[in-house]
Structure 1
Amino acid sequence: MNLLAAAVLVSVISIANAFSRNDFPPHFLFGASTSAYQVEGAANEDGRKPSIWDTFAHAGNGGLYKGDGDIACDQYHKYKDDVQLMSKMGLDAYRFSISWSRLIPDGRGPINPKGLEYYNNLINELTSQGIQPHVTLYHWDLPQALEDEYGGWVSRRIIKDFTAYADICFREFGDRVKHWTTVNEGNVVSIGGYDAGFLPPQRCSPSSIFNCSKGNSSTEPYLVTHHMLLAHASAARLYRIKYKAKQHGFIGFNLLFFGFVPLTNTSEDIIATQRAQDFYTGWFMNPFIFGEYPDIMKKNVGLRLPFFTSRESNLVKGSIDFLGINFYYAFYIKNNAKSLQKKNRDYTADTAVEFKPFPGNGTSTDEIPVIPWILQELLHSLKNNYGNFPIYIHETGQQTRRNSSLDDWPRVKYMNEYIGSLLDMLRNGLNIRGYFVWSFLDVFELLGGYKASFGLYYIDLEDPTLRRQPKLSSVWYSNFLNNRTMDSKITLKIKDNSSAVSNTPLMHAST
């Protein structure tokens, strides 16, 4: 055995002895995530109509990737098989989203019976296996009909339509679904879709590098967030008045969190880092907790920032029972006061910061840096600023190239580090209720299409059956969830000047 193989073996054995599922509170949830457009397929079947994501993908989406979700993982037809895999793995919960345009094809009006049947079947299959369904109502896939009719999220009309959609979901599924997330990555929806324009519905000012055909980056991101907050709050109020007493569920919201670190210890960069936090997370958290936008946003954005009436402020304030957090990357922050001198400012200029790569970002292997300590600092800051409300880690995961080895050692290391760090976070008083791996399967990724892989299971797109193949990470996760320990008699193979754990089973039952 050479030195590299020995180092890997020592690392693997140290992972085995670090912690177990039994170290976590009994009600702490471990799960995996996907979303409708990324996993379901059957995009043109059984009455489903297009969403803005369909339109975006079919239009070539700015050249970011090729492909679409027309077939994806075909979970629409294979949900029973997938739930069986979840059950065998030992998942406590499965986080998925409902396709609004599958359930209500035109965004409002008649319910699609086949869409209703599918989600009832999926939820029933999960609950029959003892797996909690955690449902997201909106995961970047607004019905195209509403976008065409009035511009979707840029219009206040979305509040009424979203609330009616939520009402149907609560009524039809709420007897079995206890955890509802209204919107996934609300900050990404606003920034990516309406400021930079690299996400659906691809709206931005003409000056954007993504050459949007419509939009206004100086105003629309703020309008979209405002309407999103009001739509969420409206749905939450409806649930609490009409359903909570009988269904006993919880309503949350999801944000993408970045680790922001001052580039230098100068006061300018330290203040800029706080400003970045206010613009990216305080933008939503301040209204949820205090009923108002952060002061720095009011100052920098001015009259372009919508304001809450007294009634709206009270509606939004306190409207989350939990916060869902997605976390992947960190950035160094440098002050950029010159951006505030631009004549026609957009959201990016309003933040008045520059982003610098954090060590580990953009490596040659496309791997995501393993930085759980930054997540821990973020959550402590969140607790100090907004209180210790319940948190679910809805997404965190490691990226590899799709056709790389099933022995996905980087993903095993990533999951081990983050799950292990959760114990420290819990011991330090953070109110974390669950952890979901992104993603259960190799799905159609938002930015990477079918080139990027985050899944615990590999799907060969050339295989007409789309057979699910377990990766090393799925074996590791399953054995962790079932309290089996790592076998120190691990065989290693060295191939192509790289080390990888062999296909030999990794773990055995503890005695």
Structure 2
Amino acid sequence: MGLPEGFRWGVATAAYQIEGAVGEDGRGPSTWDTFSHTPGRVRDGHTGDVACDHYHRWPEDVALMAGLGVDSYRFSIAWPRVQPAGSGPVNGKGLDFYDRLVDGLLAAGIAPAATLYHWDLPQPLEDAGGWMERDTAYRFAEFSYLAAERLADRVDMWITLNEPVVVTAYGYAFGVYAPGRTLMLDALPTAHHQLLAHGLAVHALRGRNARTIGLTNHYSPAWAASPDDQPAADAFDGFMNRLFTDPVLLGRYPDLMDDAPFVRSEDLAVIATPIDFLGVNYYQPTRLATPSEGPLPFDMVDITEHPTTGMGWPIVPEAFLSLLRTLDSRYDLPPLYITENGCSFPDEIGPDGVADDSSRIDFLDAHIKAMRTAIDEGIDIRGYYTWSLLDNFEWSEGYHPRFGLVHVDYETQKRTPKKSYAWYRDLIASSRTQTEPR
């Protein structure tokens, strides 16, 4: 691969998707607990109550990472495990779990990369208005400080928010994710309050001497269905790709937030507090057309000329390269980390006791090569985290999609590395013999 010296190979997970133990050691309910236990919200009534039982089986999972040879593990800290009410006293047993995990990772030679918010808002905060309320941003800053107070001496990489655009769109606008509200364009305050939370958290983390702080955004290149549909593609691009990046890196919002009454004059300076890196999550491009009706300025149109994953998502590695080039041309970028990239397929254990997920290998190989091209072109990319280490609870789809390098039998919790696990292990090992000085 000839990657720069110090390049980090990693894997990523999220607390609600793998931990389970939702009622143990003082953890409070999150919006996802409430949502998944509401009939009709999650496919087949699946919940994260047990998930991959990572809360109890984390040593086995760290051993799997050590077997891969990864440099780093991106995990999330469950806010309701640390502050069950979303404010007030710390739940010491909750922080103790992350203490054990971080120490276990370091003992295995794996650098912890902690995400502070991966969508599991404490339910009491949602009951008070959730991300529609400005106060939630201040509560998040407090939580960030408490987490760093315990862990900043050993965690060298911090991510404030994961994919805030998904929380705004799926959680508050369309209602397909927790908390399940259908506010449509009236959900825009949740975008601003998450960004404010990010900026406040950066200050809180710096106050506890946290190293290497960034934000992870979800990006999807916007393709116009026809030349006449370019305004629809531009509108989608403004929402999906710029709304959560322009304020952080440029200190201003794109047009759709002009004159928003919930944006105070001092907020953008807080949001634009310098960060050390930008996390990029990429899965697929999106094709847009002019809507015939409805409140949104775009309609999503299927992309049919490319192969698809088990989720029906088009596989377009060249769109990944295009995205990286666009980000590089649009902003004076800090270093980038690819904090999520992966795919779901209906992997099954074969007669030989292994899941042959050659399609995942092809996906990862093509996207890593696209990333390598971007690096060769001078884009400063410092690491790549595949999604995910384990098959896990995939939000509203429950346990049906499988994104892991490791197969999980949810009845027995048996972990079985797939063929992609061995492929990724060998890729990492071979890349270490070909690093280039930065």
Aligned match of 1:474 in 407, 421, 430? Answer: 421
Displacement of 1:364 in angstroms is 8.6
Residues 290 and 307 of structure 1: is their aligned pair in 2 closer, same or farther, counting only changes over 3 Å?
farther
Q: What amino acid does structure 2 have at the position aligned with 1:252?
A: G
**CA positional deviation for 1:158:** 0.6
For the structure 1 residues 403 and 274, does the alpha-carbon distance in structure 2 shift closer, same or farther, using more than 3 Å as the test? same
Asked whether 1:291 is paired with 2:251, we answer yes
Structure 1: tracts of 5 or more residues without a match: 1-19, 205-215, 486-511
- Paired residue type of 1:218: L
Percent identity of paired positions between Structure 1 and Structure 2: 36
Match of 1:164 among 142, 160, 167: 142
Q: Secondary structure at the residue paired with 1:62?
A: coil
Q: CA deviation at 1:369?
A: 3.2
The DSSP-based 3-state class of the residue aligned with 1:25 is: coil
2:2 corresponds to 1:35: no
In the TM superposition, 1:380-395 aligns within 5 A as 380-395=325-340
Separation in structure 2 between the aligned mates of residue 484 and residue 284 of structure 1, nearest angstrom: 33
Query: For each residue in 1:359-388, what CA deviation from the matched residue of structure 2 results, as whole angstroms up to 9, or x when unmatched?
Result: 367859546433121111111111111223
Report what 2:343 is aligned to. Answer: 398
**Is 1:354 aligned with 2:303?**
no
Match of 1:374 in 2: 319
Distance 1:280 1:430 in 2: 21
Aligned to 1:226: 192
The one of 391, 394, 402 aligned to 1:442: 391
Within 5 Å, give how 1:96-111 maps onto structure 2: 96-111=75-90
The answer to whether the 8 Å contact 1:223/1:306 transfers is: no
Task: Determine if contact 1:372/1:421 at 8 Å carries over to the other structure.
Answer: yes
1:427-457 alpha-carbon deviations (Å, 9 max, x no partner): 0111211111111011111132111100011
Match for 2:331: what amino acid? Y
Structure 2 CA distance for partners of 1:467 and 1:365, relative to 1, 3 Å: closer
Q: CA deviation at 1:404?
A: 6.0
Distance 2:415 2:261 in 1: 47
Q: Quick one: which of 275, 281, 293 aligns to 2:241?
A: 281
Q: Report the TM-score when normalising by structure 1.
A: 0.80
Aligned equivalents of 1:375, 1:318: Cα separation in 2: 27
Equivalent of residue 365 in structure 2, options 416, 421, 444: 416
Count of residues paired in the alignment: 428
Per the alignment, residue 140 of structure 1 pairs with 119
Q: Any stretches of 5+ residues in structure 2 without a counterpart?
A: 433-438
Inter-partner Cα distance in structure 2 for 1:59 and 1:403: 29
Question: 1:366 and 1:51 mapped to 2: Cα distance?
Answer: 26
From 185, 188, 192, give the equivalent of 2:163.
185
Structure 2 CA distance for partners of 1:255 and 1:89, relative to 1, 3 Å: same
Instruction: Report Cα offsets for 1:42-84 as digits up to 9, x if no partner.
Output: 1111111110001111113535443111111111111111111
- Give 1:286's aligned amino acid: D
Structure 1 stretches (4+) deviating beyond 6 angstroms?
none
Rounded to whole Å, the distance in 2 between the matches of 1:252 and 1:61 is: 35
| Contact 1:441/1:459 (8 A) holds in 2 | yes
The correspondence of residues 220-259 of structure 1 with structure 2, limited to 5 A, is 221-240=187-206, 242-244=207-209, 247=210, 249-259=211-221
What's the TM-score, normalizing by structure 2?
0.93
User: Considering only CA atoms, is the larger Rg found in Structure 1 or Structure 2?
Assistant: 1
Q: Quote the RMSD (CA, aligned, Å).
A: 2.0
SS in 1 for 2:223: strand
